[in-house]
Amino acid sequence: MTARLAPIAIVLAALSLAACGHNTEQRAATGAVTGAVIAGPVGAVVGGAAGVVADRASR
């Protein structure tokens, strides 16, 4: 059970960190760094995109 919850918790943490910042650049950068720490270069791209989406959703 714990083996299933760990990846879900990591994804939720990454998405919540992608929403940190005051503008699009800050949110994209925070998401990219978080994604890079979790999943490497592919995670950086996904995290950056999540930051942009979070910024657009907050507007």
Please tell me the predicted confidence (pLDDT) of residue 43: 84
Domain count, the chain: 1
- Distance between CA atoms of 12 and 24, rounded to whole angstroms? 20
* pLDDT at 2 exceeding the cut of 80: no
> Domain range for residue 42?
2-58
pLDDT band at 14, cuts 50/70/90?
Answer: low
pLDDT digits (tens, 9 = 90+) for 25-51: 888 888 888 888 878 888 888 888 888
pLDDT band at 1, cuts 50/70/90?
Answer: low
